[in-house]
């Protein structure tokens, strides 16, 4: 799998830190986005959209 470049890593680390610190950001959605990062799928539009809709599925 592709490894993140230092700058990319820095930006994504800070981004997720920011989201983690926000209490109003759904944990389930955050977990999904983190999973996508681990899979190097954050550039996959379909998967990201699904992740951002995750709260609906979990609530349903």
Partner 1 sequence: MVRKCFKHSSETKNQMPELVIQRLDIMGFRGVSQRKSLLFNGKSVLLFGENGTGKSTFVDALEKLFTGEVYTLDHRAQGLSSQRHGPHIKYTSANPEIAVTFSDGTKVEAGTATSASSETVKRYLEAARQPVYILRRGQLLAFIESQPRDRYELLRPYLALSEVEEVEAVLAKADEQLQAELNISRRELARQHDDLSHQAGLKAGDEVSEPKILEALNNRLARAGRGLATNLSEISTLIQEIDADLSKFGDISKPAAITSLIDALGELFNGPAAINVEPLASSILQLREFQARQTAIIYERVLEDGARWIEEEHRKECPLCEQEMRRFSPEEVVRRARTRLEQAHELLALRQQVQAELDALKKVVGESLSGVERIRRTQLARAPQELRQTTENLLAGIAERLADLVRVVSQPVPNIELGPLHSIGRAFERGEKIESDISQNVQTLRTELESLPSSAAAQSLLQLRDFLSRLKSNWERLGQAWAAFQKVEHRAKVSALAVASFRQVRKEVVGEIFTQVSGDVDRIYYELHKHHESSPLSAASHRNIRLEVREAVQQSINIRADFYTCVDTDPRAYYSDAHLDTLGLSIFLALRRWYGKQYPAFKLLVLDDVISSVDAGHAVRLAEILLTEFSDFQILLTTHDRIWFEHLRDIQNRCGVAQNFVNKTIYSWTIDEGPDLREPEDEERRLREILQNGQPYEIAALSGRLLEHILQEMRYSLRLPVPAKAGELYEIGDLWPPFYREVKRNYSTLYSKAQQTLDALDVSWPLRNWIGAHFNRWALNVPLSVAREFGNAVLSLFQFLFCPDCRRYITPSSTPLGQIACKCGHLIYAAPGRKNQPTTGRDEVISGTAGALKDAKLTSEQHLAWKRAERSHEN
- Output the smallest distance, CB 13 to partner 1, in A: 9
Site residues for partner 1, 30-59, by CB under 8 A, read 33, 42-45, 48-49, 52-53, 55-56, 59
Q: What residue has token string 């190097």?
A: 40
User: Interface with partner 1 by CB under 8 A: which residues?
Assistant: 4-8, 10-12, 14-15, 18-19, 22, 24-26, 29, 33, 42-45, 48-49, 52-53, 55-56, 59
């Amino acid at each position: 799998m592709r490894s993140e470049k230092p700058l990319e890593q820095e930006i994504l680390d800070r981004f997720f830190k920011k989201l983690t610190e926000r209490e109003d950001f759904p944990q389930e959605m955050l977990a999904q986005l983190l999973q996508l990062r681990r899979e190097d799928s954050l550039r996959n539009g379909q998967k990201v959209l699904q992740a951002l809709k995750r709260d609906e599925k979990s609530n349903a």
